[in-house]
Every structure is written in C-alpha cells, then in structure tokens.
Amino acid sequence: MDPIALTAEQWAQVKALLHILWLLPFFAAGLALLLMLALAIIPSLVGTRHLPAETTRVRGLFLLVSLAAVAGIAIVFARVIAVRDILVAVYPKFLW
C-alpha cells in the first residue's frame, strides 16, 4: 500500500491532525499522575502518618481533575475520528 502525493489542502489537514495528536500524551500523563497521587501516594502517606489526615480532602480534587483529563482524551479521539478522511485520502486502501 503506497501513499499518494499530498496537495496543499491535505497537508493542512495533516497539520491539524498532528496538532490534535500532540495533546494526547499531555492528557495521558496528567491522568496517570493525578490518579497515582489520588489513589496511591496520598493514602499511603496518610496511612504512615507522613501527611496529616486532612490531606485526604485533596484526593477529591485530584479525581475531578483526572475526570477532566479523561474528557480531554475523549475529545482528542473524537477529533481524530472526525479528520480521519485524510488517512483515507493518503492511503486509499486504509481500512476503518
């Protein structure tokens, strides 16, 4: 399966697709860090009394922000699916 040559309009679509895809690692890393803090690190430090028990209140905030990161990942996937036509234009035999 050989790609075809791209026009200027198709290059603009590729650029838009890549800009969207650059957001994905940031959302994923943020989600991982927030969940690790909220579900593992804070409870462990409170359990060993390295942090005061009141610190567990912050866990809810971290979980809410992690939901925002999940929403961001979903939005990125939705946008990528919306511009998937460029893949079909470049690779005509590309299967979805």
Mean pLDDT of the 8-21 span: 89
Total number of domains in the chain: 1
The mean pLDDT value of the chain amounts to: 90
Which phi-psi region, left, alpha or beta, contains residue 52 (left: φ > 0; alpha: ψ -120 to 50)? beta
Q: Residue 27: give the domain boundaries.
A: 8-90
Asked if residue 2 is part of any domain, the answer here is no
- Separation CA 78–CA 74 (nearest Å): 6
What confidence tens digit (pLDDT) does each residue in 49-62 have? 999 999 999 999 99
Q: Which tokens sit at 76?
A: 């990125």
What pLDDT sits at residue 14?
Answer: 87
Q: Confirm whether 1 is domain-assigned.
A: no
Alpha helices by DSSP H, the chain: 8-21, 23-36, 42-47, 57-82, 85-90
Residue at 52 is within a domain? yes
Per residue in 17-42, pLDDT (tens digit) is 899 999 999 999 999 999 999 999 99
